[in-house]
Structure 1
Amino acid sequence: MERRTYLKTGAGVLAGGLVAGCTGGGSSGQSGDGESTTESGGSTESTTQAETTESVVPETVVIGSDIPYRPFEYETTSGELTGFDVDIAAAIFEDQLGVDYEFKPTSFDSIIPSLNNNNFRIIMSAMTINETRDEKVDFSDPYFTAYQTVIVRDDGEITSKADLEGRPVGVQKGTTGAGAAEELQEEFDGNLELNRYDQISGAFQALINGQVDAVINDNTVNAEFANQRDDVVFLEGEGAAAESDQEAPPYLTLTIENYGIAFREDDDAFLERVNEALAAIKENGTYDEIYSEYFAG
């Protein structure tokens, strides 16, 4: 799992960052999502078979992802791309399917249209499976369970969900955290101020600066931020997990969600191969090893 690279935005970098493929006697080119295309001429049975295989699994899988979103995808201080989604991608594509992968940074609120515009082959970006998104993309089998949670400043006045009424709350645009905040806004008859940010780091900074009183976001990402600071804590209280008789974490949970890998709706064969690979890494223990590295305890 040494390959942790990503594509800078821009068509020129995308084209230059992919490995050119050759699937037979003719010269070959490459499409925007890393698939090889073979010009006509010199067709043989082996070439046809290779082209069929290539049409299912590209030799380089380009992955749209909102970066940074620690601990799922983020850069280290040395510029290395790492994270839970990155390691899962390595296990699925390199270890199981024997192909390369590249991450392409993409704003989360436009990531599904970008997928459907063929800017990349799949989305791996801590994306929750829900009905609204399922109308536009197809999802892999779930690979992670998360909760929408609330973090606040430790020295603030907010100690319960009710205390959020009338307060400014930070969320990331296009996320289910924003959706959970909107539901809470309805619960408060509109008396909740929502401040939306392009990236979750903007919401976190607004919390520290006192521009918002809370941030609503995925539990693991909130925890990654809160664990680095002494002045940020989870808002406590029972919520969706306890109400569903699940083993609830020791903080307020607004929703229960499952993450999936998103595919274009015409990509059934590739989705099936990825589901098989995902099942394999769960069966052979690789998934548990990666999970423990990022979410131990």
Structure 2
Amino acid sequence: MTKSKLLLAGLLALVLAPVAAFAQALPDLGGRQVVVVTENAYPPLQFIDAKTGKQIGWEYDAMNEIAKRLNFKVEYQNTSWDAMIQAVSDNQYNIGMTGITIKDDRKQKVDFSDPYMRSEQFMLVRGDESRFTDAKTFGAFKDGLIGAQAGTTPFYTAVYSVLDGNEQNPRIKLFETFGATVQALKSGDVDVVLTDGTAGKGYVDASEGKLKLIGGPLGTEDFGFIFPKGSDLVKPVNAAIAALKADGTFDALNKKWFLDYKMGQ
């Protein structure tokens, strides 16, 4: 073999090596049934399409692709956010997904997958809001109310990064779903909702100027799927997540749900 052919062979090996690594067969779960629970209240990650009544979103697409590649059958069920982590911990479900932030205290109850998405928190307000422009000026605006779900990252960000650290602060109004907080914002019942930037952008784009994001990011969070402690699904799902990141599938889903899709809410 000539030197040029050796060089070409070496270059091809370098180029193809990462592809081959991720092309290796992922674990085959043999068609087993896996029960995945979600809330369907966090567009564009997961929600009910108002036109079709179907469950759709970034997480559904990602989980369906993971199931396809690992050869398992998904059964989707629904529960409220405040019940989800405990229910998964109690083995009522095999996997939980609803934009769940990976946090050390939650790891005491459930196992997390590797992160599938990184997000930052922003302030979502009405389009004509002029009384405050960021977290500092909102904190000083004593009449301002924040809508949040108890126990969520936006709730704790509101408490500790926007207000005074008091989790009972009456300036926080609690709602059962994220969608309900946005509706309360639109109707004037609250003045701010905290949301990750990607979901917030979706709401803004669909609002025809009625909503906007203000201020800078209030914190970075990584989202992961949750499993009962010791679940044998963690390792294969992590392998699938790595493959979906490597081959551009997650990038395509980001474009589909955060850039191309306009939410009808």
Counterpart contact for 1:173–1:199, Cα < 8 Å: no
Judged with a 3 Å threshold, the aligned counterparts in structure 2 of structure 1 residues 163 and 190 are, in CA distance, closer, same or farther, namely: farther
Q: Tell me what 2:164 maps to.
A: 186
Amino acid at match of 1:162: K
**Counterpart in the other structure of 2:123:** 150
Equivalent residue, structure 1, for 2:13 = none
| Distance change (3 Å), C-alpha of 1:274 and 1:117 | same
Structure 1 residues 191 and 164 mapped into 2: Cα distance closer, same or farther (>3 Å)?
farther
Deviation larger for 62-71 or 180-189: 180-189
Q: With CA pairs under 8 Å and 6+ residues apart, which has the higher RCO, 1 or 2?
A: 2
2:159–2:167 Cα contact (<8 Å) kept: no
Question: Which residue identity lines up with residue 178 of structure 1 in the other structure?
Answer: F
TM-score by length of 1: 0.71
- The gaps in structure 2 that reach 5 residues or longer are 1-26, 261-265
The residue that corresponds to 1:206 in the other structure is: 184
User: Take 1:85 and 1:256, find their aligned partners in 2: how far apart are those partners?
Assistant: 19
CA distance in 2, matches of 1:90, 1:160: 38
Contact 1:169 1:192 in 2 (8 A): no
Determine the C-alpha separation between the residues in 2 that align with 1:160 and 1:265.
39
Instruction: Please state if 1:215 is matched with 2:193.
Output: yes
Residue 7 of structure 1 aligns with which residue?
none
Cα RMSD for the two superposed structures: 2.2
Unaligned runs of 5+ in 1: 1-52, 237-251
- Deviation, structure 1 residue 83: 0.5
* Matched-pair identity in %: 28
Identify the residue that residue 129 of structure 1 maps to in structure 2: 102
Q: Which amino acid aligns with 2:214?
A: L
Normalized against structure 2, the TM-score is what?
A: 0.79
What is the total number of aligned residue pairs between the two structures? Answer: 227
Name the amino acid aligned to 2:250. Answer: Y
Quickly say closer, same or farther: Cα 1:258–1:57, change in 2 above 3 A. Answer: farther
2:210 counterpart letter in structure 1:
D
Q: Report the equivalent of 1:98.
A: 71
Quick check: 1:162 aligned with 2:136?
yes
Report what 1:24 is aligned to.
none
Alpha-carbon deviations, 1:47-104, whole Å to 9, x = none? xxxxxx99x777221111111211001122112211100010011112x111221221
Q: How many angstroms does 1:148 deviate by?
A: 1.4
Query: Cα distance 1:189–1:73, how it changes in 2: closer, same or farther (>3 A)?
Result: closer
TM-superposed CA distance for 1:189, in Å, is 11
**Corresponding residue for residue 19 of structure 1:** none
